[in-house]
Amino acid sequence: MIGYIQGILKEKDYNNVTVDCNGIGYQIMVTNSCMANMPDLEQEVKIYTYLHVREDEMSLYGFVSPEEKRLFLQLITVSGVGSKTALQILSAERMGAIINSIINEDASVIASCKGIGKKVAEKIIVELKDKIRPLDYILPNESIFTQSNEFIEDAVVVLTSLGLSKNQASKMAREVAKENDTAEDIVAKVLHNMGE
């Protein structure tokens, strides 16, 4: 099993990226949130991965965080939901919306994803409603790009001094941080979002 790949981003196209890791180019199918967090080409990235193996195919799927990967792994335990379908669901909706729909037994959110019918959505809810623990999906997670981690940590210190809890500050900082953001940029974005 390949838990994650860290290397240099060489190509990105729609929902596929290629990462050079020690001279080997790994082609990875990624979620929309993962793609949205990609840095520029030739920058270092860390992508959490799942290796899907079939008799006639080996595919790598990539995720922005361990939490997103964990939800993907839960989705593919549902009979009738394959890796591509699970990736499609995670790309169509925010992770929080998917989890809320499962917990609240609201099939409409998942059913609204392209190619996902109401029966499949209801099956996902039935099979996962007792397995999903919301706290497993809101833990602080690493940024997909490695260069700004120290700036995120600095931003968290500032945000906690302003009254946010460490978990809340970490989660909000990581949600807004982009490649090359300074700690000041991250704090400003979080404060702006809180003021909306």
* Any domain includes 143: no
pLDDT of residue 167: 77
Q: What CATH number has the domain bearing residue 79? A: 1.10.150.20
Of 12, 29, 63, the position where a domain reaches its end is 63
At residue 74, the pLDDT reads 93
Residues ≥6 apart with Cβ < 8 Å to 110: 89, 93, 98, 101, 102, 116, 120, 121, 124, 125
Question: Does residue 119 fall inside a structural domain?
Answer: yes
Same domain membership, residue 160 and residue 116: no
pLDDT digits (tens, 9 = 90+) for 111-152: 888 878 889 899 999 999 888 876 566 544 444 444 456 677
pLDDT of 55-75, one tens digit each?
888 899 999 888 889 999 999
- Residue 99 is assigned to a structural domain of this protein: yes
Q: Which domain holds residue 47?
A: 4-63
The pairing of strands 16-21 and 44-54 is unpaired
Interval 171-183 mean pLDDT: 80
pLDDT in tens, 97-114: 888 888 888 888 898 888
